Amino acid sequence: MHFLLNEYESAQYSEVIEKKILYLSVDNKCKKLLCVDGTLKVENISSLYGYHLKAETRVMFHTRHIDNEYLGNIVGRGNDTDTFVILLINVHQLKCSHLWYECGLDHENSRSFYDITRLVAEIPFKRALPGDYGSR
């Protein structure tokens, strides 16, 4: 992750990031990368510094923070079912228009996106998972 963070901080990635906001966590630190008027801006987000033992809980911690400032689509990335289930259980607490889960790898042609908001709306998880799912 150190390499990825250092690489993305270079100006050549401003076109890649474009209209997206990218949050990267490395060790206990978190940085926000966004493109403003064609220039890559990197901010330290001290409120997202964390000492989570597992990445799965950090993903939800960051998702909730992003949800407070951005109401569009949010994509959580993970490589196991733990992250998926944590996002699934907590989606009802979010205000974003859609929460997505991305998993898999491009080089193995196994990359997939799952629309968690739609899954919760269409499948009766109330009996299978704890929590209050409200209207979602």
pLDDT digits (tens, 9 = 90+) for 16-60: 777 778 777 777 788 888 888 878 888 888 887 777 667 777 778
pLDDT at 89 over 50: yes
Q: How large a percentage of the chain has pLDDT more than 90?
A: 3
Contacts of 36 (CB under 8 A, 6+ apart): none
Q: What residue numbers bound the domain in which 117 lies?
A: 53-136
Single pTM value for the model: 0.62
- Whether residues 45 and 60 share a domain: the answer is no
Identify the H or E element spanning 101.
strand 98-103
How confident is the model over 77-95, as a mean pLDDT?
Answer: 84
Please give the mean pLDDT across all residues of the chain.
Answer: 77
Beta bridge partners of 39: 36
- Whether residues 34 and 11 share a domain: the answer is yes
How confident is the model over 119-132, as a mean pLDDT?
Answer: 67
- Whether residues 129 and 85 share a domain: the answer is yes
Beta bridge partners of 31: 24, 44
What is the rounded CA–CA span in Å between residue 91 and residue 99? 7
How confident is the model over 66-93, as a mean pLDDT?
Answer: 82
- Whether residues 86 and 135 share a domain: the answer is yes
Identity of the residue numbered 133: Y
Total tally of structural domains belonging to the chain? 2
